[in-house]
Amino acid sequence: MIYLRLFSQDPVTIFMAVLVLVFAVGLCFARKALGKTRRGKNIWRALCFVPLAACVIHFGCCRFVGSGWYTRHTYGAFYLAALVTAFFPLFNLWKIPAKVFSIILPVGAVVAFLYTIIYPMPFDSGLRNYTKQSYTQGFVSLTKDLEKYYSLKDWKKTDIQAIAKKIMPAVEEAERKNDAGLFYAAITAFGYYFYDGHVGTWPEGDWDAWERGLILLGGNDYGFSMLRIDDGRVVAILSESTLPAYQAGIHNGTQIIEWNGKPIEQALAETECIYQGDKYPVKENEDFFRPVFLATRGMGESTDIAQYLISRAAADGTYDAPKARVTFLTDEGQPCTVELDCVEDGLNTIEYVMQFLISFGVYPNRYGVDKNFDAKMINDDTAYMLRYSEEYNYWGDIFSYLTGKYPTFKKRLRRQLEDLKSQGMKNLIIDARNNMGGYPALGSETASLFSDRTFATDSTYSDINGRHKLMLTDYVKADGEFKDINVLVLTNSYCVSAGDYFVRVMGECPNVTTMGFTCSNCSCQPQGGRVLLTNSICNFGYTINWLYEQDGQTRFIDTDETRTCTIPLDIKIPLTYDMAVSFAYDIDLTWEENQNNIRDYVMEYALEYLKK
């Protein structure tokens, strides 16, 4: 894995780190050799400034425009080492300081070199900088990188050029109008079509572009939203009594049968859930959310995402949005059609419904647990543990990434479980919903405490130059100290990456049950590709390495082109009519107060399940 990560790193960055290191070490050895003559001393002093001069040129050519953070963290270590090297002639004026400096400088340069190489390994080893390019140039450069480095292209049968062709009109329009928000929205849409939880856009520095991008993607609010319930019906939710939709007869629980003149099933099939952070490798997971996004679409709006974004970007404000034609069943069971005006941008409704469906961001939760891996007893025999990422301690995480082991985390977790067991724990609910991933060793170490058998997980291969070569195989080592505990793992489609890995390996253990409204994201190939685009409006991440099942042919966890779930739930929680109609928004309360009133049906279902 280390080799694969080094292989993908930017060669210019590695060259600069090596250059500074070589000069820092070489100058220490050359100090005496060149210090015997005046000319030699002058040459040596001049050489001390070479690394700094090279770094000044590098900064001018290679800095991340608009992102001081990436510039500092990517180049800062060897920039600092070069600056310190330039002070060597000053310290050389005195004998003792010169000797001390001759020790400190090479050590510091080695540290700077190692930091430059190791720091980006887990997530940014394939970092590329296109911040000085135009919108279209950066987009073309991005697609070329993906064609060359995206490691799931063949597995998912991803036609990158076809996707790029689909999105390019929106990118060109963004460049023509210098519309950073439209560019952000277009790149977000581009990432959606890879159906990969590791591929997509993240905001970097331009928060105005991010906000406008979300507004463009978020559609329109027509006074209510929709959900599909367990009996197959699509029903209205969040219908506010002061708005025209409610006054026309669309109340919470009202069945919607047509949208914009199309039968509801046809309209849903044509709907794509394109929004910030929303990625759906599993089609069934996207189907779960489609009604929410359909509720933001007006009459005549294009189903082609590029044209949709262009038309929305050209509008002069929210109220230029088209009407929506909605056919529903009245309380008497009769069909009724109404046309509704847009009341505001749709993103607020989308995000609020997501709070209900995925229980995202409700921390501290109702049990007072707000820190990752914290746990407490919530009744006489049941403990609750929050697990929203697979990250514990930064440098410990990095070390676990390099070794595949995490003894300090395992020791901490063991003590925690022993304490809970002493309090009467027989059941443990691990809440991995919205687990944004991190490092797989945490999942392996956790599973080892609950497993009574050793089992293989994934195998890392190198597919460089078409040669399929096994590098290593990871295992969960049997410990089984807590195999008698009944464990429920809660998950959803926002549980991704090392979160997926955690759900997978825990599912291999006895007495572990996975449940949720949806399965987890099903994306586990290591991310490392990272592209910063024009003026750091956004960064685009993607997978660059290869994990396989034990057969060496099937990709580990990640879905293929069929988008079929690879980590099926043991129990899929039904979204019932009563759940849907209970979800409400009180306009007299703040966002936070409404958020606190959201019922956590998944937790309620889990607790009822444990009583059986």
**Other residues' Cβ atoms within 10 Å of the Cβ of residue 481:** 16
Give the pLDDT of residue 31.
77
Under 8 Å between Cβ of 535 and 206: yes
Could you report the per-residue pLDDT of 18-37, keeping only the tens digit for each? Answer: 999 999 999 888 877 776 67
Kindly calculate the radius of gyration of the chain based on its CA atoms and give it in whole angstroms. 28
The continuous run of DSSP H or E covering 83 comes out as helix 68-86
Instruction: Give the pLDDT of residue 463.
Output: 72
Q: Give, as one character, the DSSP assignment of residue 555.
A: B
Q: From 564, 418, 430, 433, select the one nearest 491 (Cα to Cα).
A: 433
Distance (Å, rounded) from C-alpha 59 to C-alpha 73?
Answer: 13
Backbone φ, ψ for residue 382 (5° rounding): -125, 130
* pLDDT over 70 (residue 8): no
Q: What is the pLDDT of residues 215-269, one digit of tens each?
A: 999 999 999 999 999 999 999 999 988 999 999 999 999 999 999 999 999 999 9
Which pair of tokens denotes residue 461?
């291969």
Measured between alpha carbons, how far is residue 422 from residues 147, 369, 412, 415, 418 in Å? Answer: 54, 19, 16, 11, 6
Q: Environment class of residue 103 by beta-carbon count within 10 Å: exposed (0-12), middle (13-18) or buried (19+)? A: exposed
Lowest mean pLDDT among 177-186, 345-354, 411-420, 432-441: 345-354
Query: Measured on CA atoms in the order 465, 143, 556, 398, is the torsion positive or negative?
Result: positive
pLDDT of amino acid 283 = 98
User: E-strand spans in 39-160?
Assistant: 126-129
Q: Which of 371, 376, 411 is nearest to 391 (CA)?
A: 371
- Amino acid identity of residue 606, one-letter, is A
d(CA 358, CA 286): 13
Q: What is the 3-state secondary structure (H, E, C) of 149-189?
A: HCCCHHHHCCCHHHHHHHHHHHHHHHHHHCCHHHHHHHHHH
Please give the angle made by the CA atoms of 269, 275 and 279, to the nearest 5 degrees: 75
3-state secondary structure of 424: coil
| Per-residue pLDDT reduced to its tens digit, 481-525 | 999 999 999 999 999 999 999 999 999 999 999 999 999 999 999
Q: Looking at residue 506, what is its pLDDT?
A: 97
The label of the residue with tokens 């025209």 reads 244
Interval 307-359: pLDDT, tens = 999 999 987 555 478 999 999 999 999 999 999 999 998 888 898 888 788 77
End-to-end CA distance of the chain: give it in Å, rounded: 45
pTM of the predicted protein model? 0.91
DSSP string covering 290-339: HHHHHTT--TT--SSHHHHHHHHHHSSSGGGSPPEEEEEE-TTS-EEEEE
Secondary structure of residue 41 in the 3-state scheme? helix
The arithmetic mean of pLDDT across residues 190-207, rounded, is: 94
User: How is 479-525 classified by DSSP, letter by letter?
Assistant: --TTTTSEEEEE--TT--THHHHHHHHHHTSTTEEEEESS------S
Distance between CA 294 and CA 463 in Å, rounded? 40
Higher pLDDT, 366 or 43: 43
Reported residue count of the chain is: 612
CA 396 → CA 358, 392, 403, 473, distances in Å? 30, 7, 10, 21
Q: In the chain, pLDDT over 90 holds for what percent of residues?
A: 70
**50 burial type by CB count under 10 A (0-12 exposed, 13-18 middle, 19+ buried):** middle
Given this model, what pLDDT does residue 545 score?
82
Q: For the residues 60-80, what does the mean pLDDT come to?
A: 94
